[in-house]
């Protein structure tokens, strides 16, 4: 939109709840103030809106009038913790499927860890039954890794070992999770001459693993401990298509 009349035409046609950050409840409150379109909102009294609602709405009004208030974050900051947790599609009543799930979640967390160029030092592992079960069971533990690492094999090994310690027979487990709760930026890691660190071979292998999975799809190469059939895997038959991240999800029209 290059002209003022174009901006005004669009805002007059747009319902106020189509503006980012304004939902149904806020729409109802704005309607009491005779604010029903984005144009009404752009011309509203900002001091009144801030007093009745929040400073965020005041900033939204400024944005509608061409004043930039929200900075574009081109490079999101690295996460301080990385978690991968999922519910099971079929409840697990034995240890093997739980270890498979924990291994897979550890692999996913390690992949995200390498993407932001960090090394893990401490893991958090948990397993639990459904909170609606008569016998609810939930346990977690924290695991210290032998040295800072982003090697999927090592992280998965310690996560599976933790799951073995947490598991208690006689329950139907619904959920498990692995979190990397302490990590360091590998650019600033200080080596220790008395303790072994991650070998260069691990870095080369992980680079190969990520490269193949990026090119041919996640899971092309994985640990055998992640499981093959995965009967416990989360049900996703009603998941929305990934139009913005997966080219094959975009509908094709044949004429």
Domains and CATH numbers, the chain: 4-64 (1.10.150.20), 82-226 (3.30.1490.100)
pLDDT at 73 over 70: no
Report how far residue 188's alpha carbon sits from residue 99's, in angstroms, rounded to the nearest whole number: 33
Q: What is the pTM of this model?
A: 0.67
Q: Are 159 and 101 in contact (CB under 8 A)?
A: no
Which among 75, 42, 72, 76 is positioned nearest to 57, based on CA atoms? 42
pLDDT at 15 over 70: yes
- For residue range 140-196, list pLDDT tens digits in order: 999 999 999 999 999 999 999 999 999 999 999 999 999 999 999 988 777 667 667
Q: Phi and psi dihedrals of 86, rounded to 5?
A: -145, 155
Question: Which of 116-120, 198-202, 246-250 is predicted least confidently?
Answer: 246-250
Q: Are 194 and 155 in contact (CB under 8 A)?
A: no
**Cβ neighbours for 8, distance < 8 A, ≥ 6 positions apart:** 39
Q: Are 158 and 152 in contact (CB under 8 A)?
A: no
Percent of the chain with pLDDT over 70: 94
Report how far residue 24's alpha carbon sits from residue 173's, in angstroms, rounded to the nearest whole number: 37
Q: For the chain, give the mean pLDDT.
A: 88
């Amino acid at each position: 939109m290059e002209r003022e009349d174009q901006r005004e035409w669009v805002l007059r046609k747009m319902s106020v709840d189509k503006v980012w950050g304004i939902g149904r409840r806020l729409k109802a409150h704005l309607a009491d103030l005779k604010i029903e379109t984005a144009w009404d909102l752009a011309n509203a009294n900002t001091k009144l809106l801030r007093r009745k609602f929040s400073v965020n709405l005041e900033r939204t009004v400024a944005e509608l009038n061409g004043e930039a208030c929200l900075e574009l974050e081109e490079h999101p900051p690295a996460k301080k913790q990385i978690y991968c947790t999922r519910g099971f599609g079929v409840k697990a009543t034995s240890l093997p499927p739980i270890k498979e799930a924990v291994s897979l979640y550890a692999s996913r967390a390690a992949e995200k860890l390498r993407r932001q160029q960090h090394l893990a030092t401490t893991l958090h592992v948990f397993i639990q039954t459904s909170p609606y079960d008569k016998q609810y069971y939930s346990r977690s533990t924290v695991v210290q890794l032998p040295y800072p690492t982003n090697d999927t094999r090592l992280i998965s090994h310690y996560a599976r070992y933790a799951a073995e310690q947490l598991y208690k027979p006689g329950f139907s487990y619904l959920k498990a999770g692995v979190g990397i709760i302490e990590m360091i930026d590998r650019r600033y890691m200080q080596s220790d001459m008395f303790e072994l660190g991650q070998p260069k071979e691990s870095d080369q292998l992980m680079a190969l693993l990520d490269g193949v999975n990026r090119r041919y799809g996640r899971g092309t190469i994985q640990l055998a401990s992640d499981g093959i059939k995965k009967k416990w895997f989360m049900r996703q038959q009603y998941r929305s298509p990934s139009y913005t991240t997966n080219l094959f999800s975009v509908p094709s029209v044949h004429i």
